[in-house]
Amino acid sequence: MSTTYTHLSKQSQKERGDVLTSSHKKPRALTRSDLRSLEKRVFDLAIAGIVSVTVLVWLIPLIGLLIKLSSRGPILFVQMRTGRDGKPFRCFKFRTMTHAPNAEFKQVTANDVRVTRLGHILRRSNLDEMPQFLNVLLGHMSVVGPRPHPLPLDAKYWHSMPGYKDRYAVRPGITGLAQARGARGETDVPYKMQGRVRYDHLYIRRQTSRLDVKICWWTVKAALNGNKNAR
């Protein structure tokens, strides 16, 4: 009885010691990847916050009024798209097409009759994407990253195209290296999507704040010149 008690007492003391030791372990040091993620999130919140309070506060009512005057339907087009690690989220855009809530998914093509007159202007200038700064504030997106695709488009390539789903290893962006380099618009043939995916992989490997700033500048220049591949 005494031997058993002594053994249990020593075991209890050892367990308490283990708990105390584990509770005093030093926290894990931040890796370069952790610091890069933190830096990127701060960049995203800063840019999205500034744009929201200086631009979206008047742009959404203004464009919303023009949309309402030019066609029937809601101001925003909300579509389920794929986010980081394949998790879907509601992506915001200004509505640029005629309102058809029950229509099946179909990529926008050149001279697509569904696109309104105002919609053509919004698409060529990238203004239709501006509400996605709200997605950035909500944590769904980054300012720069691979573009999020609609779920039906992802389903087409998810298992059939090597490396396709790996583009969602990071938060998707309002703009990206592929879009800034002209790989945007309809992907009616596989090689167009392959080119976009190669750009996405290159960005993921080399992403830095400096590159993000460059991509933002390239995107602004393309918008001012009118995006040729915008539909």
Residue 4 has pLDDT above 90, yes or no: no
The pLDDT tens digits of the residues spanning 189-214 come to 889 999 999 999 999 999 999 999 99
Is 17 inside a domain boundary?
Answer: no
The total of structural domains in the chain comes to 1
Structural domain containing residue 121: 34-225
Is 181 inside a domain boundary?
Answer: yes
The pLDDT tens digits of the residues spanning 133-169 come to 999 999 999 999 999 999 999 999 999 999 999 999 9
Is 130 inside a domain boundary?
Answer: yes
Strand pairing of 88-94 and 173-175?
unpaired
Q: Provide the pLDDT for residue 157.
A: 95
Is 21 inside a domain boundary?
Answer: no
Q: Provide the pLDDT for residue 36.
A: 84
Residue 26 has pLDDT above 90, yes or no: no
Is 25 inside a domain boundary?
Answer: no
Is 131 inside a domain boundary?
Answer: yes
Query: What's the helix, strand, coil split of the chain in %, to 5?
Result: 55, 10, 35
Is 174 inside a domain boundary?
Answer: yes
Least Cα distance to 146 among 213, 209, 202 occurs for 202
The pLDDT tens digits of the residues spanning 171-190 come to 999 999 999 988 888 888 88
The pair phi, psi for residue 195, each rounded to 5°, is: -65, -40
Is 100 inside a domain boundary?
Answer: yes
Tokens coding 170? 């990071």
Map residue 136 onto helix, strand or coil: helix
